């Protein structure tokens, strides 16, 4: 008699501590690429997750400091089954990027205001995006199902 059958899916994880500089983008890109290849992600998922990571890190590096303080950044990437979850946390200026208005995609390029496309890309490429500010840190969590084409 079988009481219950349980399948356990292993959770694979990657955690990085990063400085708020351009070199950290390259370090994170390489680490995520290596993780993704070791887990046999589809090429389009690798591209999307790495692009989103670059956009998030660039925003923290460009806008998270106050001149006297460069934010410290941590990134935690995990995969359980086909769900990839990535959280980027920083101790920079509190900012919820999900409150940013959608960019103007209708006007010609010469008349569009600068900015807003990074957050738009993040929302378009990921299956879910969530923000919270907790214990003095911004936390942006993005999730992607590896099989989804969104």
What is the signed CA dihedral for 93, 98, 87, 41, rounded to 10 degrees?
-140
pLDDT at 75 > cutoff 90? yes
User: Does residue 103 lie in a domain region?
Assistant: yes
Per-residue pLDDT tens digits for 88-123: 999 999 999 988 877 666 666 555 455 557 888 999
CATH number for the domain that contains residue 27? 3.30.565.10
Cβ neighbours, 10 Å, residue 143: 15
Whether 150 maps to a domain, the answer reads no
Containing structural domain, residue 90: 11-145
> At 128, which helix (H) or strand (E)?
strand 128-134
Tell me what percent of the residues of the chain surpass a pLDDT of 90.
Answer: 69
> At residue 30, does pLDDT exceed 80?
yes
Domain count within the chain: 1
Residue 138 binned pLDDT confidence (cut-offs 50, 70, 90)? very high
More reliable by pLDDT, 106 or 58 = 58
Band of pLDDT at residue 146, cut at 50, 70 and 90? very high
Q: Does residue 12 register a pLDDT over 50?
A: yes
What residues pair up with 83 in beta bridges, in sequence order?
80, 145
To which residue do tokens 């378009």 refer?
A: 124
**Domain for residue 4, yes or no?**
no
Per-residue pLDDT tens digits for 17-28: 999 999 999 999
The answer to the question of residue 3 being in a domain is: no
In a domain, 75, yes or no: yes
């Amino acid at each position: 008699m079988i009481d219950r059958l349980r399948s356990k899916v292993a959770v694979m994880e990657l955690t990085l501590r990063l400085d708020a500089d351009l070199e950290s983008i390259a370090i994170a890109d390489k680490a995520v690429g290596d993780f993704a290849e070791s887990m046999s992600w589809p090429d389009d998922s690798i591209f999307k997750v790495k692009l989103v990571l670059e956009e998030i890190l660039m925003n923290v590096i460009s806008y998270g400091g106050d001149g006297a303080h460069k934010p410290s950044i941590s990134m935690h990437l995990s995969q359980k089954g086909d769900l990839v979850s990535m959280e980027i946390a920083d101790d920079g200026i509190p900012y919820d990027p999900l409150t940013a208005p959608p960019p103007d995609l209708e006007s010609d390029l010469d008349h569009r205001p600068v900015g807003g496309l990074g957050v738009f890309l993040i929302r378009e490429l990921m299956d879910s995006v969530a923000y919270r500010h907790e214990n003095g840190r911004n936390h942006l969590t993005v999730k992607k199902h590896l099989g989804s084409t969104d």
